[in-house]
Structure 1
Amino acid sequence: MLLEAKRVLELQGSNVLWVNMQSLRSLGAPHAFLTVALRICDLILGAYASRPDSSQGHESLKLLRATIEQRFQPNAASLDDVALLVPQLQQVCARFCLQSGSSLFIFLDDIHYVKSSDAPKFLDLIHGVTRDCPVWLKVAGIQHQTRWFIPDPPTGLQTGHDAAIINLDVTLEQPEKAKIFLEKILRGYAEESNALPLSGVVSASAIDRLVLASGGVPRDFLTLCAASLQTARQRSNAKTVGVQDVNNAAGIISQTKQQELEDDAAATSGRSAILVASLNIVRDFLLSDQQITFFRIEFRDKELHQGEYRALQALADLRMIHLINASLSDPHHAGKRSEVYLLDLSQYSGSRLKQNLYVLDFEKGHMVLKRTRSSEPARVGDTVLKLVSLLRRAPMLNLDRLSDSILPAHDL
């Protein structure tokens, strides 16, 4: 979506700078800013080079660029020293936008690769360049792995004042809308490939399972669909992708992701080890203790155990669990609310043959609660009240269960 926004802006005649922050992950805030500042200078210099009436701006910008290059020396790149360049670069950008009659858009992709201690400082410097001129920041990253503001002293981008959060993912909080959106994307690919009708490639039940297994995330949905197609091709006489193909593909993808996490955990006692331990605790609580695939986290509990909650959010970022309701009321206690999470399909699809396992599934646009190897009828959440009733059956996971496996909150 960001790339599409970049394309549209360029067609409209705007000046656009795209920076992939992954390549700057080893740099601290000062050097990361200097790198982006150089690229801003180069972008504007390129624009000036094509204009015959820009000698004044051209020469002053070349001097600023030379100064920025000098700051790359190890002893000349303290945060305070680099901050002195912000007003100069801001003035250059303002003059350029005024002379060119166009705006400048700076895209910072994958900001979560920047260390959480450096990101607010880096963004504060970049934000200073954009003030009082038509320069716009578009910053993308994984929300729960990104820190963009420090309140004391105010540093970075403060949401509601300096920036607004736009969630680009359609999640399982609105599964019906997620299915419509994701199926539309898939149908577009099928049309481009001359593979219509879509029902001749992927069965309706398989699409439902893809929505559930992907957590409603478009990229994961398409990746899993491609893997499911490969799995279906290995079946003799397979005509379309079926539910079991999706289950198998989800398991293979998850095994690879989890193996990488476990390998990293074996080599270090850091974040990966914490996440592996946390996932095992959550999975054992659900599948062994409670015989169910979804759970609740009480609001007050996440405030009291912030480190444990950050571990849980990291599992959500890795698609090991999925948020399906951000604020579920309690029928017995007024004002008491909780979040509801679903264990990823790949973590329990092998346990479906287990007797009396309550499984939250997705069928025909609705969440459905089933019990494996049981004659108990399925419960369909086809109304708001019915869905709330289903979700309230989820057991409450106390976050102190994760306490022994994690480090302090700032280490996650």
Structure 2
Amino acid sequence: MLKPAQLEKLREVISENLRVQRDNDPVAYISVGTALQDAVSKQNHAIFARRGCGKTLLLHHSSRSLKPELKSIYLNCEDFKRHSFPNVLVEILASIFRELDKNISGWFGKKKKLKQIIKDILDKLKTLHVNADAHEEEVRSRSASEQHAGFDAGIKIDDITFNAKHTAKETQEVERSFRIHRQKLQELDLWLPRLKDNLRELFAASSTVKGILLQIDDLYHLKRTDQAFVVDYVHRLCKDIPIYFKIATLRHSSTLYVDREGQPIGAQERHDYQPIDIDYTFSNFPRTLKQNHAILLQFGAQAGISEAQIMGLFKGEGFDRLVMAGGGVPRDVLSLFLHLLNETVQNEGGKIGKDEVRILSRNNFERKIEELKQDSKDDEQDDLIKGIYIIKSFCLDKKNNIFVIEEKLLQQNDALRALIYRLLDYRIIHSCATALTHKSAEGTFQAFAVDIGCYAHYRKLDGRFNEIDVTHAAAKERMRSAPILDQTKIDNIVASLPGHGQVELLAESMEEEASEA
């Protein structure tokens, strides 16, 4: 049994590293694949994963693992999340060159000419910091009352009918937004060749620095319509210069590339950058389990606690269940572990088992809903809450934690696909399998698990709820018999939707929990 002082040390180590900060004490990134190797290479990359999977940690750790001739510049797009275009691009460029200015002597030498080049660039960027963005905001405000906007794709789901047809006004607004962006980019575009010449002068003057990794973290914080333009300019800036971008973001909440009027804007996957996927999902649960196990052991080692002592805090299926409850996301898993460490281990002197995780998972589900509300736009919150209600109601009605959707339906129904992707990003549902065949229907399907907090009110599942255990070797085979969520079933649930989705969503679980007592 661990001593109180050891438990306190473990709690301290994990708490201080739950959210990675730039100037925190170094924490190692646990890589079970090639992510770290890719992150330090002279190649453009986009790092995709849900929040809490270690994107920021990978960037910081890779900066400490660079060859001497490589340097890194780190930017967090959360610093620019409420800034409008093109000022957001100007400010990102200014941040890059301020970092170069700070390191110019160490990286490029003490030549006075180089210092003046950076000063001239920063002065130029100040003049480009315009206030004409108000025009775009006026356009957005005016069109907001005219159009049906919803999710990130600009699709309103009228009463959750999942009708993906755009109105003419929606299409016009999207095109108008891109036209305005192009107009504002003209001066920056004209300046780009000279800017690249200045960068070549810097590299030519250096005998040590042969490349820079430009780390752009949390791109999804920028406005969706701005992202492709920012990526486009960064990509063109880096081209034919030894600067390589590493963009970290949520895959389904980001637009890195678009094609407007036959003109490509942004950077295209596999052509302009290579993807690094560090999201550990239920589709390969052993791999996800291994990753979370290694991370927990690393923190245990920092606290002077052995593997046997760490795993001795669990009983039965406790650790596997903890990873399930956290959706495989390390930050969520560790947050739940800290709570259980306090409530179960320290206060009660017990061990963490399946029941302890079940009780906590319901509160965790409510926290995820609150997080979704805080991060989503006002005009999409209600639709997202109703979407959660639809999926939760379907799973409880079918008494199954896994549901499948035909891939053809997801491809054809933009609104349904947008909903599913958003709920994946917010860990309300979890990806379990793709290209899955079903025993009772033709076609291929994607399988998803609803968060265990949705059915945590059941004290006993036997005979009441069928839980396909994603940790089991036969899980994929059992998924082939999982209930199919199709358009007809969605429409039937929509017809009985309550007026206040979130209130009903949470009250329903409270009533069911009370009936279990």
The alpha-carbon distance between structure 1 residues 52 and 139, as it changes in their structure 2 partners (threshold 3 A), is closer
Equivalent in the alignment of 1:177: 287
Q: Retained in 1: the 8 A contact 2:405–2:485?
A: yes
* CA RMSD in angstroms, aligned pairs only: 2.5
Matched, 1:280 2:389: yes
Question: How many positions carry a matched residue from both structures?
Answer: 379
1:13 CA drift (Å): 4.8
The alpha carbon displacement at 1:141 in A equals: 0.9
1:391 partnered with 2:479: yes
State the partner residue of 1:248.
359
Is 1:359 the counterpart of 2:470? The answer is: no
Alignment of 1:4-403 (within 5 A): 4-9=61-66, 12-50=68-106, 54-75=111-132, 78-100=184-206, 101-152=209-260, 153-196=263-306, 197=308, 198-233=310-345, 236-238=348-350, 240-259=351-370, 261=372, 270-287=379-396, 289-331=397-439, 336-353=443-460, 355-362=463-470, 366-367=471-472, 382=473, 386-399=474-487
Which whole-Å deviations, capped at 9, do the CAs of 1:164-216 have from their partners, x for residues lacking one? Answer: 11111221111112212211211121122123222222335111101211222
Q: Specify whether residues 345 and 63 from structure 1 end up closer, same or farther in structure 2 by C-alpha distance, changes over 3 A only.
A: same
Residues 143 and 200 of structure 1: is their aligned pair in 2 closer, same or farther, counting only changes over 3 Å? Answer: same
- 2:104 and 2:456 map into 1 onto residues whose CA distance is 59
Structure 2, unpaired ranges of 5+: 1-57, 134-182, 498-517
8 Å Cα contact 2:281-2:431 kept in structure 1: yes
Consecutive unaligned residues of structure 1, counting only runs of 5 or more, are: 368-381, 406-412
Structure 2 distance, partners of 1:388, 1:35, is: 48
Distance 1:115 1:52 in 2: 38
The 3 A distance-change label for structure 1 pair 111 and 261 is closer
Q: Distance in 1 between matches of 2:201 and 2:378?
A: 51
- TM superposition shift of 1:161: 0.6
Q: Deviations over 1:98-136 (max 9, x none)?
A: 322321111111111111111001111111110101101
Deviates more, 1:253-262 or 1:205-214: 253-262
Residues 353-397 of structure 1, C-alpha deviation per residue, up to 9 Å, x if partnerless?
3643111225xxx32xxxxxxxxxxxxxx2xxx443201111111
Structure 1 pair 190/80, CA: closer, same or farther in 2 (3 Å)? same
Given that 2:468 and 2:479 are in contact with CA atoms closer than 8 Å, whether structure 1 keeps it comes out as no
Query: Does 347-356 or 144-153 show the bigger shift?
Result: 347-356
* Residue 75 of structure 1, CA deviation: 4.0
Q: Are the equivalent residues in 1 in contact too, given 2:438–2:444 (CA < 8 A)? A: yes
Contact residue 433 and residue 476 of structure 2 kept, 8 A: no
In the alignment, is the contact (CA less than 8 A) between 2:216 and 2:247 conserved in 1?
yes
Q: Separation in 2 of the partners of 1:399 and 1:150?
A: 29
Identity of aligned residues (%): 20
Kindly state the Cα deviation for residue 2 of structure 1 after the two structures are TM-superposed: 1.7
Specify whether residues 361 and 230 from structure 1 end up closer, same or farther in structure 2 by C-alpha distance, changes over 3 A only.
farther
Higher relative contact order (CA 8 A, sep 6+): 2
TM-superposed deviation, 1:234: 6.5
Measured in 1, the distance between the counterparts of 2:334 and 2:375 equals 27
Q: 1:224 is matched by which residue type in structure 2?
A: L
The corresponding residue for 2:23 is none
Distance 1:202 1:387, change over 3 A: closer
Amino acid at match of 1:231: E
> 1:249 & 1:326 partners in 2: Cα distance?
29
- TM-score w.r.t. the length of structure 2 is 0.68
- Letter of the 2:195 counterpart: L
Matched position secondary structure for 1:84: helix
Contact 2:318–2:352 at 8 Å: present in 1 too? yes
CA displacement at 1:331 relative to structure 2: 4.4
What one-letter code is carried by the residue in structure 1 that aligns with 2:359?
N
Q: Which moved more, 1:38-47 or 1:20-29?
A: 38-47
* Farther off after superposition, 255-264 or 391-400: 255-264
Equivalent-residue separation in structure 1 for 2:300 and 2:109 (angstroms): 49
- Paired with 1:6 and 1:260, the residues of 2 have a C-alpha distance of 30
Shift of 1:81: 1.9
CA distance in 2, matches of 1:52, 1:306: 53
- Mapped to 1, the partners of 2:222 and 2:490 lie a distance apart of 26
